[in-house]
């Protein structure tokens, strides 16, 4: 799907197989044309499929930012994930029949045309999940409401009933449309849960992260293979941090980000975080994602505040004491791979589920809101910098993540399946 958090993690896989001599091409939004050109990967842009991406989603759907809760989930399911499935498949079928007869199809877990590709084209489909696991389990809470696993039989039963209720409210209308689309392609109805489509129709399901940062599942799908930290492709870095001398001038270094989708309203997190910490002896590093960078620089023109469109997290986290974020999975996994604890405040786009894991594994503090006050951020920041539990737990996960050779894991499973 054409959102950075879905696109970027797959670039590492693409470049790995390209370096091995394989012919790698990408079907995607034209918004990623420049990135793919730099990688030397041919782009097949959408023809019939509507190009809904992180740059235009607020324009195409002005209501996107206003919707909350179940209404938001229902909208995302029907408009973003479901509406384009058949057109995505027709585009890819045409590519396969006329230009590129591929042997293997990789996609992110939200690209739901994967199931028709699996059934109609018949090639192996490797699904990559760059977020928390969503497949239904008897052991886990319902998705997208920020709960942690129940500890009792009664609690698990309650979670099961909540899941059934949510699925009925959110997915009933969409699944009717989905199965009508399948019927138009001479395929039988799918009677499972929407949450299980990606795993059910995958040949292999590569899950970014580690079991130690996922909820235990006694019924884990055997297709699921944990990869460790699945990170974007990165050349030998030519990134140069502009202010290296400042990294040693302050008591603590704190990285602040509001992600790449829900970053238009910086009053949600970036501004209250700056207000909370600007007078402390901390170096504050803010990555804006190209939103209001100049305006923020003028407003917070202080020697201990650095505001950039882009900061290389892989570089800067080596010098960071705390990561403040709304809970994007890629940044969270990268932070844990560096042993950095996390202060998080986010709910939409499934971030409440990611933040629930941060809370559950005690690698940080979840503020359980999208609009934290400056006072709350300041208090919890001070708590995290004093209480070593969070740092110790993040370091424990870092040591586990170090044992994963992500690309070798993926390549070995793919080659084994091809035998």
What HEC string does the chain produce?
A: CCCHHHHHHHHHHHHHHHHCCCCCCEEECHHHHHHHHHHCCCEEECCCCCCCCCCCHHHHCHHHHCCCHHHHHHHHHHHHHHCCHHHHHHHHHHHHHHCCCCCCEEEECCCCCHHHHHHHHCCCEEEEECCCCCCCCCCCCCCCCCCCCCCCHHHHHHHHHHHHHHHHHHHHHHHHHHHHHHHHCCCCCCCCCHHHHHHHCCCEEEECECHHHCCCCCCCCCCEEECECCCCCCCCCCCCCCCHHHHHCCCEEEEEECCCCCCCCCCCCHHHHHHHHCCCCEEEEEECCCCCHHHHHHHCCCCCEEEECCCCHHHHHHHCCEEEECCCHHHHHHHHHCCCCEEECCCCCCHHHHHHHHHHCCCEEECCCCCCCHHHHHHHHHHHHHCHHHHHHHHHHHHHHCCCCHHHHHHHHHHHHHC
Domains of the chain: 4-228+404-417 (3.40.50.2000), 244-402 (3.40.50.2000)
What's the pLDDT score for residue 55? Answer: 77
Q: What is the pTM of this model?
A: 0.94
What's the pLDDT score for residue 69? Answer: 78
What's the pLDDT score for residue 237? Answer: 67
What's the pLDDT score for residue 40? Answer: 97
Statement: residue 230 has pLDDT above 80: yes
Q: Residue 269 contacts by C-beta under 8 Å, 6 or more apart in sequence?
A: 256, 258, 324, 325, 326, 345, 346, 370, 372
Instruction: Give pLDDT tens digits for 179-211.
Output: 999 999 999 999 999 999 999 999 999 999 999
What's the pLDDT score for residue 397? Answer: 99
> Which range is least confidently modeled, 59-73, 257-271, 401-415?
59-73
Q: How far is residue 374 from each of residues 271, 289, 347, measured CA to CA in Å?
A: 8, 21, 18
380: how many CB neighbours lie within 10 A of its CB? Answer: 21
Q: Which residue has the tokens 């737990």?
A: 393
pLDDT tier, 139 (very low <50, low <70, confident <90, very high otherwise): very high
What's the pLDDT score for residue 245? Answer: 94
Largest distance between two CA atoms of the chain:
66
Closest alpha carbon to 164 in 193, 199, 198, 135: 193
Statement: residue 238 has pLDDT above 70: no
Q: How far apart are CA 289 and CA 263, in angstroms?
A: 8
Instruction: Give pLDDT tens digits for 38-75.
Output: 999 999 999 999 888 877 877 888 887 777 778 888 88
- Region 215-230: what's the mean pLDDT? 97
What's the pLDDT score for residue 175? Answer: 92
Closest alpha carbon to 146 in 320, 399, 326: 326
pLDDT tier, 317 (very low <50, low <70, confident <90, very high otherwise): very high
What's the pLDDT score for residue 77? Answer: 85
Statement: residue 323 has pLDDT above 90: yes
What's the whole-number average pLDDT of the chain?
A: 94
Statement: residue 419 has pLDDT above 80: no
pLDDT tier, 418 (very low <50, low <70, confident <90, very high otherwise): low
- Region 156-177: what's the mean pLDDT? 91
CA angle 309, 5, 163 (to 5 degrees): 135
What's the pLDDT score for residue 313? Answer: 95
- Region 125-149: what's the mean pLDDT? 96
pLDDT tier, 260 (very low <50, low <70, confident <90, very high otherwise): confident
What's the pLDDT score for residue 350? Answer: 87
- Region 360-383: what's the mean pLDDT? 98
pLDDT tier, 81 (very low <50, low <70, confident <90, very high otherwise): confident
Statement: residue 24 has pLDDT above 80: yes
* Contact predicate 47/91, CB 8 Å: yes
Q: Which two tokens stand for residue 215?
A: 């909820």
């Amino acid at each position: 799907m054409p959102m950075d958090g879905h696109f970027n993690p797959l670039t590492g896989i693409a470049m790995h197989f390209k370096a091995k001599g394989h012919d790698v091409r990408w079907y995607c939004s034209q918004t990623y044309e420049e990135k793919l050109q730099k990688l030397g990967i041919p782009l097949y842009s959408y023809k019939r499929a509507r190009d809904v991406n992180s740059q235009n989603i607020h324009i195409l759907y002005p209501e996107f930012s206003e919707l909350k809760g179940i209404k938001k989930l229902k909208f995302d399911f029907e408009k973003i994930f479901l509406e384009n499935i058949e057109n995505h498949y027709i585009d890819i079928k045409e590519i396969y029949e006329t230009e590129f007869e591929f042997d293997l199809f990789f996609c992110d877990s939200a690209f739901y045309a994967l199931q028709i590709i699996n059934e109609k084209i018949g090639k192996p489909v490797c699904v990559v999940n760059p977020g928390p696991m969503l497949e239904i389990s008897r052991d886990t809470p319902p998705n997208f409401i920020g709960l942690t696993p129940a500890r009792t039989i009664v609690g698990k039963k309650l979670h099961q009933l909540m899941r059934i209720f949510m699925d009925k409210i959110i997915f009933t209308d969409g699944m009717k449309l989905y199965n009508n689309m399948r019927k138009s392609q001479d395929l039988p109805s799918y009677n499972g849960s929407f949450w299980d489509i990606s795993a059910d129709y995958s040949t292999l399901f590569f899950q970014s992260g580690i079991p130690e940062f996922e909820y235990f599942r006694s019924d884990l799908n055997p297709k699921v293979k944990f990869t460790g930290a699945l990170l974007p492709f990165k050349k030998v870095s030519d990134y140069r941090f502009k202010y290296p001398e400042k990294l040693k001038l302050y008591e603590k270094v704190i990285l602040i980000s509001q992600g790449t989708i829900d970053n238009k309203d910086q009053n949600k997190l970036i501004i209250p975080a700056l207000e909370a910490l600007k007078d402390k002896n901390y170096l504050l590093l803010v990555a804006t994602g190209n939103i209001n960078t100049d305006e923020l620089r003028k407003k917070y023109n202080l020697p201990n505040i650095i505001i950039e469109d882009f900061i290389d997290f892989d570089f800067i986290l080596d010098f960071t004491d705390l990561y403040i974020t709304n809970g994007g999975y890629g940044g969270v996994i990268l932070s844990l791979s560096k042993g950095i604890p996390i202060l998080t405040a986010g709910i939409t786009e499934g971030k409440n589920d990611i933040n629930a894991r941060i809370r559950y594994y005690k690698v940080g503090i979840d503020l359980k809101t999208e609009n934290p006050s400056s006072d709350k951020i300041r208090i919890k920041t001070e708590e995290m910098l004093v209480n070593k539990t969070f740092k110790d737990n993040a370091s424990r996960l870092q040591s586990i993540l170090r044992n994963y050779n992500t690309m070798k894991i993926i390549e070995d499973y793919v080659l084994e399946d091809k035998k």
